[in-house]
Amino acid sequence: MAQAEARVGARRKSSLAVPGWWRGALVVAGKDLRSELRTKDALNASLAFSVVILLLFSFAFDPTVEETRALAGGLLWLVFAFAGALILNRSFARELANDCLDALVASPVSPAALYLGKVAANWVLLMVVQLASLVVFGVFYNAAWTRRLGALVGVVALGTWALSVVGTLFSALTVNLRLRELMLPLLVYPVLIPALLGAIQLTGPLAMGEAPGAGTEVWLRLLVGFDVIFTALALALSEAALVA
């Protein structure tokens, strides 16, 4: 038993080598994307949820341009955060069948590479949902979000990475809980408050096709700093989270 554990540890150390470490992460990400695209369970649920929420809000009130500008960032990230929980919940839950999660943890892929692959797959799926939500938002709220498309997609990508990094880590921690669908949002959203604040402030004017106002550099630095710090922290804690 001790020799087997030593061999697994040696394989994990060797898998940290470049490009082996990145290859392991890409393999995990590709597996998750193929699995989700085959069933489309979480993707369809997230897309449907996003469209319904945006549609209900458009029926609930008829805002002016000024009011839409004020609520655009908060509304979009409210939709992104709650729709994202549906995808993040499935990240590790799909591995419970036939003890696939135990097999992944015992594989030669390092825990950090396994975790990063999961994050990358979740990020891609969330970006698909969010870009589709932007299209729906533009139609229902008459917002010219395509005028600042590059900057808007960049901000959404940074905010989505923060959501993916934190959400995937807590998804691993709550995968064996009976109420994981409830516990995951309760744990993730308080941690995401700094990133959500930055993303909301940056997204609001960009979603209306306007240039960001003064002081937006502070929010951008906050968002980038959050991504860097929590990515490094989550990679360091990935092994403890996966074997918990």
Query: Of 50-54, 95-99, 180-184, which range is least confident?
Result: 95-99
Structure-model confidence comparison of residues 124 and 70, the more confident one: 124
| Number of domain units in the chain | 1
Residue 20: predicted pLDDT:
65
Q: For residue 75, give its domain range.
A: 2-242
CB 203 within 8 A of CB 73: yes
Confidence at 155, pLDDT banded by 50, 70, 90: very high
CB of 137 closer than 8 Å to CB of 207: yes
Number of helices (H) and strands (E) in the chain: give both, helices first. Answer: 9, 0
Cα distances from 153 to residues 87, 120, 125, 195, 207, in angstroms, run 20, 17, 14, 16, 10
Tens-digit pLDDT profile for residues 6-45:
444 444 444 444 456 678 888 888 888 888 888 888 889 8
Distances (CA, A) of 61 to 76, 138, 140: 16, 16, 11
CB 130 within 8 A of CB 160: yes
Higher model confidence: residue 197 or residue 215?
197
Of 41-50, 99-108, 136-145, 231-240, least confident by mean pLDDT is 99-108
- Spatial separation of the C-alpha atoms in residues 177 and 79, rounded to whole Å: 25
Beta strands in the chain (DSSP E): none
User: Cβ contacts of residue 43 below 8 Å, gap of 6+?
Assistant: 36, 37, 87, 125, 128, 129
Stated length of the chain: 244
Alpha helices by DSSP H, listed for 94-179, are 100-106, 111-141, 149-174
Its sign, for the CA torsion 207, 127, 166, 77, is: positive
Task: Give the pLDDT confidence score for residue 95 in this predicted structure.
Answer: 72
For the ranges 1-5, 58-62, 174-178, which has the lowest average pLDDT?
1-5
pLDDT, greater one: 215 or 64:
215
Structure tokens at 150: 């590059």
Pairwise CA distance, residues 150 & 159, whole Å: 14
> Mean of the pLDDT values across residues 196-225?
89
Name the more confident of 93 and 34.
34
